[in-house]
Amino acid sequence: MKVDLRRELQGIYAIAKKDVRIYYLKGPVLIFGILFPFFLFLAFSVGRNLPPQALVPGMISLTIFFTSSSVTPVIAPWERRTKTFERLISTPISLHSVLIGDILSGLLFGTFLVIIPIILGVLLFGASIISVNALIISIPLSAFCFASLGTLFSALPTDTPSEIMTLANLVRLPLIFISGVFIPLEQLPVWGQIIAALSPLTYTHNLNRCAFEGYVGHNWTINVVILLCFTIFLFVAALAAQKRTLERE
C-alpha cells in the first residue's frame, strides 16, 4: 500500500495542532505542568543544603516527565467517548500518524514548559550549563519518550479518562523515586540501581546532570542510546496496544 507522505505529515500537523488548542492551552493544565513538579521537588530539596548544580537537573527532569505525559493518556479515551477517535481513524491517514500527532503535541508542551525551570535555574539559582549538547538532546528525546508512555496508557479499552489517569499515576509516581532524581544513583544500594536501570527517567536525569554537573553516569553516549531504545519501545508498544483496542471495539 503506497503511503502519501505529504498527506501523512499534514495529518500529523493537524492532529498536533488540534491537541494543543483543545487539551494543552488550558489554565489548569499549564499550572499543573509547572507547579506540581516544582513543589514536589521543593518539598524534597528544602533543608538538604545542596548546590544549584545538583538541584536544577532534578527540577528539569521532573518538569519534562510530568508535562510530556500529563495529557497524552487521556486524549484517546476522551475522543473515543466523543467518537472523534473513530473519525480520525476513518480518514485517509494511518494510525501511526494519529499517534505521532498526539505524541508531538506532548513533546511541544513539555519542551516549551521545561524552558521555565532552565531559566529559573540559571538566573535565580545561579546554575551554569556545562554541556548545552546534553540539554539539547535530553529535552526533545525525553519529551517524545514520556509522551509515548502516556499514549501507551491511553490504549486501555475505556472511554473514562479518570481510569486512565489513575493507572498512569500509579506508574509515574513510583518512577520519580527510583530514577535518581531525589537520591543520586551512586548512593542507592545495588538492588536500587538495578531497578533504576528499568526507568527511562533515570537516563533523562543522567543527561540533565551531565548538562549542569558534567556528570556522565555510565557513559554519555550510552544514556542517549538507552533513552532512544526506551522511546522506540514505548512508541511501538503504544501502536500495538492501540491496534488491539481498535480490533476489540
Q: How far apart are CA 138 and CA 136, in angstroms?
A: 6
pLDDT at residue 94, as a whole number: 83
Judged against a pLDDT cut of 70, whether residue 200 lies above it is answered with: yes
Q: How far apart are CA 193 and CA 182, in angstroms?
A: 13
The fraction of the chain above a pLDDT of 90, given in percent, is 24
Judged against a pLDDT cut of 70, whether residue 170 lies above it is answered with: yes
- Do the beta carbons of residue 57 and residue 213 sit within 8 Å? yes
- Give, to the nearest 10 degrees, the angle between helix 95-113 and helix 72-81: 130
Judged against a pLDDT cut of 70, whether residue 44 lies above it is answered with: no
Judged against a pLDDT cut of 60, whether residue 1 lies above it is answered with: no
Question: The domain containing residue 33 runs over which residues?
Answer: 5-248
Task: Give residue 39's identity as a one-letter amino acid code.
Answer: F
- Give, to the nearest 10 degrees, the angle between helix 52-68 and helix 95-113: 150
Q: How many domains does the chain have?
A: 1
pLDDT at residue 28, as a whole number: 66
Report pLDDT digits (tens) over 103-153: 999 999 889 888 888 888 888 778 888 888 889 999 999 999 999 999 999
C-alpha cell at 121: 535555574
The mean predicted confidence, pLDDT, of the chain is: 84
pLDDT at residue 71, as a whole number: 85
DSSP of 46-99: TTS---HHHHHHHHHHHHHHHHHTSSHHHHHHHHHHTTHHHHHHHSSS-HHHHH
pLDDT at residue 150, as a whole number: 92
Task: Summarize the confidence of residues 43-56 as an average pLDDT.
Answer: 71
User: Any residues with CB less than 8 A from the CB of 132 and at least 6 apart, and which?
Assistant: 211
pLDDT at residue 3, as a whole number: 61
Q: How far apart are CA 154 and CA 73, in angstroms?
A: 4
Judged against a pLDDT cut of 70, whether residue 201 lies above it is answered with: yes
Task: Summarize the confidence of residues 228-237 as an average pLDDT.
Answer: 96
Residue predicted with more confidence, 168 or 28: 168
pLDDT at residue 112, as a whole number: 87
